[in-house]
Amino acid sequence: MNKMQYQTTRQSDKTYNFSEMIREGVPLEGGLFVLSEALSLSPDFLDSLGDLSFQDRAAALLGVFAPELSEDKINSICDKAFDVLRYQNELVYEAKPLNPYLLNPLFIFTEKGPSACYTDFTHAFSIACLEELMQPEEQWFVIAGESIQSIKSLVTLYNCESSWKPILIADQKSVNNYVLKEIQNLRSTTNIVSDHQSEVSGEYSENESELKILNNAESDQPNQTVSEDDFDLEELLKIYTINGKVQDVEYFTQSLFYDQDLRQELQKQNKYIATVGVLNFSQSIALFILLTSAYLDLLQQEVLEKKDNFALAFPNFNLDFIYVAQLLKKSGLPISHLFAASNSNRAIADFFRRGKYKLKRRFFRTNTPALDKIYFPNIERVLFEATDQDCSLIDQLMSDFMEKESLEIPSSIVSKLNGFLQTGYANNKQTVLQIKEWYIRTDYLLDPYTALTLDVLERFEQVALKMDKIIIPVIENPLISAQASAEAIFDTNKSRKRSYSQLLIDLSEESGISIPAAAYSSKNKPEVINFNIKQMSEQIATDLLSY
C-alpha cells in the first residue's frame, strides 16, 4: 500500500496529506477532495483485520488513509468517533441477516446512534478527525447543510465544551415547528446523557412531558427522570433557513467554501470553517470503514465466503454510497453490482441510465425526504472515478453544469457506469406497500428508505438472482418516519386520527422497536433566521466574523 495522498477533482498537480485535506475541508480552488490514486487492500491485509474489534479495524484502515498520523492520534480519533457509550446497546453497528429464514438479502444495521441515522456514524468520525487536528487558540465552525438528518447528527455531537460551534443551514420548505423542536430536544437530551454517562431510551412518561434517561445495562445507578424545565434555555440553538430555488439552496453550503474573501477574513481572526456530510471526504472514509468491517463480519459469521461476489443496494442520498462502493471495488472487495434507488425525484436515476441531467425539472416532496434533492455534490466524485480520474474533463463538465444548469456525459462513460450500476425509482405508494408486505412476511418493520431500495431491487430480479448475496445498509430507524410506517401497518383511521406521539407509542408496541430520542420533540425550538440566499450569505458571513 502506498503513502496515501489527496487531490481535488479538478486539479492533479497539487497534492495534500490527510491532515491538510481534513483542515481544508472543501478545496478553495474548487472541486472536491478525492484520492490521488486508487487504493488497494491486499488479501493478507484484509485477513489480518478479521479477528479484530471494530475499533481496531477502524484504526488499521484509517492508518491507510492517514499514514502521516501517529498510532496514538489514529487511536484517539477512533476512540472518540466510535465510543460505544454513544450507541444503542453498545453497538456501533450490527451486520446480520434481516431474518434467519432469509438468506438473501443481508442487512447492515447502522441506525444505532443518538439520532437514529447513519450520519451519527459519519459525522462523529469527521468531528473526531477535525478535533484531533485543530491547533490551540483556533476557532472552528462546523457546517451541516445537506439534510435534516445531517443537522440532527451534528447537534448530538455538540456540547458546551466542544472546541467548535455548529452552523445549521436548511431549506426553509423542509423545516416546520415539529422538526425544530426535535432538533432542540436532541440538543438537550444528548447533553443530559453526556453529563450522566448514560443513554437515552426514548421513552416518555405518561404525561409525555418528562424524558426518562436510562443508564447502560452494566451500570447499577438508578434510572433518572429529567423534566424539560431542567433544560438550559441559554443553550438553544440557532438555525439558518433559506428561501430560494431548491437547487440554489442545496448548493449554498458548498458555495460558502469557495468564498475566498470570507475564508481569508476568517483566517485573519484565526477562525476556520469545516463541514460534515458529503462535501467532506472524511465521510467517505467513515463509510469505507463501516462497509469493509461489515463485510469482514459477514465472512466471520460464514454468511459470506471469500470466493463470493456480492452486490450493494441502497437509496441514492447524495450518491455517497455509490462513490464509496466505487472505492471499495477498486480496493479489492468482490463487489459485482450496485443497485441505487431514487424516489419520485428520479432525475439522478435517469442520468445514470442516459447520461443527461438537468437542474430545472419537476420537484416532489415525498415520504423519503432525504432523497428530495436536485443538486448532488457527489456526482463530481462519481464521475471522477468513472472517467479514470480525468481532472480536465471533470472541470469542463462541472463548469458547464453550473453555467448551463444541465450536464451531459460521453456515451462511453454512460456505458461504463451501466456495466456496474443499476438504478430505478419508486413512488410513495410503492414504498408504503413494500413496508406493509415485508412486515406481514417477516414481522420486521422497514424504514421507508430500505423499503424503497427493496422495491427497486425487485425490478432487477433476473440480475439479482445471479448474485450470491446482496447487502443493504439500513440507514435509519423506522420509527423516525412514523407516519409512513403507520400508514403501512395500521388501518387508515388509526394512522390518521392519532397524534404523532401516540403513533410512535402504537408503532413501538406493535413492532417491538424502541422509540429513538430523535423521534421526540421538546417544548422549545431553536432560534430561526430566515432570509433569501443573498441576504443569508451576508448574515452568515457577519455572524462568523463577529462570534
Question: Which CATH number fits the domain that encloses residue 201?
Answer: 3.40.50.1100
Report cis status (omega within 30 of 0) of the bond before 377. Answer: no
- The per-residue pLDDT for 151 is 95
Q: Examine residue 213 and state whether it is found in any structural domain, yes or no.
A: yes
* Structural domain containing residue 179: 139-278+522-546
pLDDT band at 216 (very low <50, low <70, confident <90, very high): very low
How much is the mean pLDDT over the chain? 87
pLDDT tens track for 229-256: 444 444 568 999 999 988 899 999 999 9
Q: Examine residue 230 and state whether it is found in any structural domain, yes or no.
A: yes
Would you tell me how many other CB atoms lie within 10 Å of the CB of residue 158?
20
- The per-residue pLDDT for 362 is 84
pLDDT at residue 227 tops 80: no
- The per-residue pLDDT for 146 is 87
Q: Examine residue 465 and state whether it is found in any structural domain, yes or no.
A: no
The share of the chain scoring above pLDDT 70, in percent, equals 88
- The per-residue pLDDT for 191 is 67
Residue recorded with cell 452486490: 311
pLDDT tens track for 72-97: 999 999 999 999 988 887 889 999 88
The arithmetic mean of pLDDT across residues 526-543, rounded, is 95
The arithmetic mean of pLDDT across residues 477-504, rounded, is 83
Instruction: Give the span between the Cα atoms of 208 and 49, in whole angstroms.
Output: 46
Residues 6+ apart with CB under 8 A from 378: 32, 278, 318, 319, 320, 322, 323
The arithmetic mean of pLDDT across residues 272-279, rounded, is 96
More confident residue, 297 or 85: 297
Would you tell me how many other CB atoms lie within 10 Å of the CB of residue 443?
10
CA distance readout (Å), 324 to 276, 278, 298, 316, 338: 16, 11, 19, 12, 11
User: What's the structural domain count of the chain?
Assistant: 1
pLDDT at residue 528 tops 50: yes
pLDDT at residue 205 tops 90: no
Q: Examine residue 328 and state whether it is found in any structural domain, yes or no.
A: no
Q: Examine residue 408 and state whether it is found in any structural domain, yes or no.
A: no
pLDDT band at 351 (very low <50, low <70, confident <90, very high): very high
- The per-residue pLDDT for 214 is 32
Q: Examine residue 438 and state whether it is found in any structural domain, yes or no.
A: no
pLDDT tens track for 183-203: 988 888 776 555 444 443 444
- The per-residue pLDDT for 499 is 81
CA distance readout (Å), 110 to 197, 439, 478, 491: 22, 20, 12, 29
Smallest CA-to-CA distance from 239 within 117, 145, 115 is with: 145
- The per-residue pLDDT for 458 is 84
CB-based contact 529:168 (threshold 8 Å): no
pLDDT at residue 502 tops 70: yes
Q: Examine residue 268 and state whether it is found in any structural domain, yes or no.
A: yes
**HSE-up of residue 5 (Cα within 13 Å, Cβ side):** 10
Q: Angle 25-27-29 (CA atoms, 0-180°, nearest 5)? A: 165
- The per-residue pLDDT for 187 is 86
pLDDT tens track for 6-17: 999 999 999 999
Q: How much is the pTM? A: 0.91
pLDDT at residue 18 tops 90: yes
CB-based contact 438:491 (threshold 8 Å): no
- The per-residue pLDDT for 466 is 58
Q: Examine residue 247 and state whether it is found in any structural domain, yes or no.
A: yes
